[in-house]
Amino acid sequence: MLDPVLLRKDINFVVTQLARRGLSFDVERFNKLEATRKEIQIETENLQAQRNTLAKEIGKLKSQKLDASEVMAQAAQIPEKLKQLEEKLNSVKNELDSWLMTIPNLPHESVPFGKDSDDNVEQRRWFPDGGYQSDREPAPFDFEVKDHVTLGEKLGLDFDTAIKLSGSRFSFMRGGVARLHRALAQFMLNTHTAEHGYTECYTPYIVNASTLYGTGQLPKFKEDMFWVTKGGDDIDAEGNVIPKEEMYLISTSEITLTSLVKDSIVSAADLPIRLTAHSPCFRSEAGSGGRDTRGMIRQHQFDKVEMVQIVKPETSYDTLEQMTAHAEKILQLLKLPYRVVLLCTGDMGFGSAKTYDLEVWIPSQNTWREISSVSNCEAFQARRMGARFKNEQGKNEHVHTLNGSGLAVGRALVAVMENYQQADGSIVIPEVLRPYMGGLEVLKP
């Protein structure tokens, strides 16, 4: 959520920054709400002062054994008036908070202006045989390239069974390809915990709405989620009807990892907090417009290894570079060509102040495809969650939260299959994955 203090002090800055994201902020609406809030607060403070004055007067009259009934009658009316003002103030605050919950984060000054992905700015490219090299394309194969769907037909990647069980945008794996998928996740987790200092976590796959409001998925992106309803018809042990509640399948373990600090004051000595988890992710792909219906690129259910860091504000942009390097390291160890792209204002996520995408080379499409997105949300999520730490001045300050894919497991499987394919349809297993595959070097049809 945007900083209310910044809105009050420098609303023109907020308007300008949101305009960079293509959003028009309703200044008139905000000013009206602010004016109403101030009026109520002033009236409340005046009544509180009046209550204190009357209390003193009552005490004085009673000490002098004089009649205080008239003054007491005046004082007796104040609590009800204060209650009414409190209700009005809460109504104004709720309207403001509900509105601000739908407003995206402000972009960092270093984020380039742009309308969509065409305006993103490439930062660097990396190749297994040459390291960082700009203005180079991956070398072509000397045989006809197959996509991962065709390769997978004889390796255990079964989309027909998935469609029979669940519908489109699901996959079913068996045998070697299922093991390769698991190996990728284990390799990523081990690298992030052993080399990058993250603590491995296992988190719930279903969360309540409050959790999603905290990290920014709700209310704006409900249609992108899958959810279930519990309660309403069930009776508890005391015979009471259990209230109806919507529970949501997580679209990323960023949600559960970041929410670890929800409604808490973290010790400064405990920062930074580095967390990682492997989990399934569930997305409805609402608005995807039929894109990537073939194969594993865009699924309703997929696996991801997530990285989250919770840090002091002054270190968050160094942390963004560090986390991007952590994701890059996975691709380098897998020896997959990739590039790093800085997202423009029109393409960045709702809660992000700055985002880097890592895009891996997909030979069958002859293009780069996103495999990781690393974002600094600054205090945007922390304000929504109530996540703070005590700074050096002894004051409570919001933490900064960062998240990144380290990596999307299904897309990593696609990249490995296609980049390591052989003319006979077999897949060479990357060296770093062989210990997880029982020493197997080649996955054969």
Residue closest to 309 by CA, chosen among 201, 225, 224, 409: 201
Phi and psi at 362, nearest 5°, equal -115, 105
- Cβ–Cβ under 8 Å, residues 313 and 400: yes
373 is an annotated ligand-binding site residue: yes
- Cβ–Cβ under 8 Å, residues 324 and 356: yes
252 is an annotated ligand-binding site residue: yes
CA 117 to chain centre: 19
Residue closest to 260 by CA, chosen among 97, 375, 386, 373: 386
Strands 301-311 and 400-408: antiparallel
Phi-psi map region of 442: left, alpha, beta (phi>0 left; psi -120 to 50 alpha): beta
Phi-psi map region of 292: left, alpha, beta (phi>0 left; psi -120 to 50 alpha): left
Measured distance CA(151)–CA(176) in Å, rounded: 12
285 is an annotated ligand-binding site residue: yes
Tokens of 202: 């296992």
403 is an annotated ligand-binding site residue: yes
b/e map 241-276, b = 16+ CB within 10 Å:
eeeeeeebbbbbbbbbbbbbbbeeebeeeebbbbbb
Measured distance CA(130)–CA(76) in Å, rounded: 82
What is the Rg, in whole angstroms, of the alpha carbon atoms belonging to the chain? 28
306 is an annotated ligand-binding site residue: yes
Measured distance CA(59)–CA(149) in Å, rounded: 85
- Cβ–Cβ under 8 Å, residues 281 and 301: yes
**Sign (positive/negative) of CA torsion 110, 116, 118, 122?**
positive
Tokens of 265: 């004051």
Measured distance CA(201)–CA(223) in Å, rounded: 27
- DSSP letter for each residue of 270-322: GPSEEEEEEEEEE---TT-TTTT-SSSSS-SEEEEEEEEEEE-GGGHHHHHHH
Q: Which residues are annotated as a binding site for ATP?
A: 283-285, 370-373
User: Residues comprising the binding site?
Assistant: 252-254, 283-285, 306, 370-373, 403, 405
Residues tagged in the binding site annotation for L-serine: 252-254, 283, 306, 403, 405
